[in-house]
Structure formats: C-alpha cells, structure tokens
Structure 1
Amino acid sequence: MDDTELHRERILRHVSPIITGRFVGYQASYTREVSVGKPLAIFVFLTAGIAQLVASLMRMKPARRSLKDLRKGPEFLVTPVRLRDDLGQTYEIEMHGQLPQSALHRGDLVQVRTEPQRDRTLPVKLTQVVNLTTMQPLTPRIPTRWSHLGPAMLLQAAAGLVVAGVVLAALFH
C-alpha cells in the first residue's frame, strides 16, 4: 500500500438540498449535451418548414436548420465543485454552466442549494450558491433547449403553425 492510498480523501456525493461549507475548489471541467426530444424537434422542424415554404414562395431567404441539428441539443459546461463542512467532510457537487471567476475563492464560506439529477449515479447539481463571505448570491447560467432552437426558428415555427391553422380552417369551413 502506498502513501496515496493512506491519504485518499473520502468524497461524499448524495447530500441534503442545502450544504454549508468552505469552498475547496473546482475540478476539471467538461461538456455535456442536452438532448432535445424527438417529438419537440419534429414539431418545430415541420411547422418551421411550412413558414420556410411560404417564405421561399415570396422569394425571401428563411433560416434553415436540419432535423439532425435540432435534435442535437446545446452543450453546457459541467464543473465538479468541492466543499468541506465544519466536520471536515468533503462534498462533490456538479455545477452546470458558469459563474464569474471572481465569484468564489478557496476558503470562502458558502451555502449551496442542490437538487438530484435524473441519473442517480451523478453527484447532485448546484442550483444556487450564496457566498457567505461576500454575501453575494450566484446562479450558474446554462443554455436551454429553447435558446438552442433559437428565436428565428421558433418564430418560423409559430408562423408555420398559424399558416397551417388558416389552411385547415379554410378547408373545413
């Protein structure tokens, strides 16, 4: 048995919704993709396609994205964060998105609000942190499915839905 095994720190994962402790530091970040559900992607793709068809008939240039692009969701940054409580226990939680670099410094007293993730093998997710040293509340921001689809595509989908509604109303009236 070598020295690294003797001094290996035990990391706790599943914890209560609120943890108060000292900020130990960030671990290596990586990206994770949020998938967009097939029904939502197909609905937006088809209704936007109707608007794109109307726009092309009017010789306007519509924004185009493939169904594959829509299904591939936004990527967001995942950063494991470590905290140590007053008893010396270390907790690892995941922060999705980013905070300003100057928001947390090693040794700051923080209180974090967490929630479990769908995949129970993953650490809990940080939803909000209050730096009690500076009294600054912080919330990491991540891209959403709606921001991934984009305003242009969503407006086209809404216009396509209106056109489809008008055509259906004319057919059945």
Structure 2
Amino acid sequence: MNEQLEFVVRAAAIGAGATAVMDLWGLFLKRAFAIPSLDYACVGRWIAHFPRGRFAHVNIAQAPGIPGETPIGWVAHYAIGIVFAALLMGVWGIDWARYPTLLPALLVGMSTVVAPFFVMQPAFGAGIAASKTPNPHTARLRGLMTHLSFGVGLYVAALLSALLFRSDTDRLRSAFKRDPNV
C-alpha cells in the first residue's frame, strides 16, 4: 500500500475508532449517572442551516428542524474525528500510527475541545465555553472529560490499527521472536 493511501486508511480507522470510544464514554455517563450527551441532531441541524446562510443560532434546539438532521449530525461527528486523527498523523507523522504513543494522542484529544468551546457552543447559542449555560463549569468539565476520552480513543484505535496493518513479515517476526532473521 502506498504511503498516501495508508495515511487515509489509518486516519479513517483511528478517527472512527476514537470517536466510537468517545461515544461509549458518553453512553457510560448516560447509563451510569443519567448525564445526557450531545444530541447529534443539533449538530446536523446546525450544519444543515449553512446553505441557508445561517451559521449561528440563539438556541439551536429552537431552530427549525431540518429533514435528515440526525444522520447529518452523526456523519459529521465521525468525519470530524477522522479529520482530527489525520491532523495528529500530519503533525507526528505516519510512523506515529505505525508505532503509537500515548502522549500525542492525549495532547490532540485535549486540544480538540477548542472546537466545541469556541465554535460549536457559541454557534448553538450556549456562549463561549458554555458561558451561557446554567452550569458552565460543569459543562466545561464534561467537555474536557469527553475530549480526553477521544484522546484515549486515538491511542487505543491506533494500537489496534497498528496490529491490523502490520505486514506479514512483521507478523512472522513477532511469532518467531527468537530468530530476528526470519
């Protein structure tokens, strides 16, 4: 596989995997503590209003609904995760995906909280870093924890993809560790 194709495939696998880990974290919080997660229909509604020239709302939940907003939101959610994985690999190189380490994944995961704090929340009517919500500190902490889970997901997904994308030669070497000339 050429390196450009490998980059795209790994970014897709790592980004989708990390986003799934973040979603599992949200599901855990919902089931264990009754903490609701973001309704991705709102993300889809926000995006679906772009062609109409509407990029910010007083309250996204009260904005007119758009047919297909839920799938639009979910596709965008996973696409954004893939873009962030590509960004990680763009900064640390494709070798990071081949031999992942935790720190870059956590750094990128935590830095992704900038998008909701300074783009999505203000555009949804929640203010910068949820400043207009009833409990901004709680909302910020949840956002940080969610994006930390995304960082952990980047690392876990990269480890899994590193195992899946290993060459046959690498698999043979690991199976016969005593003889590095195999």
The TM-score with structure 2 as length reference comes to: 0.25
The TM-score with structure 1 as length reference comes to: 0.26
Bigger proportion of residues as strand: 1
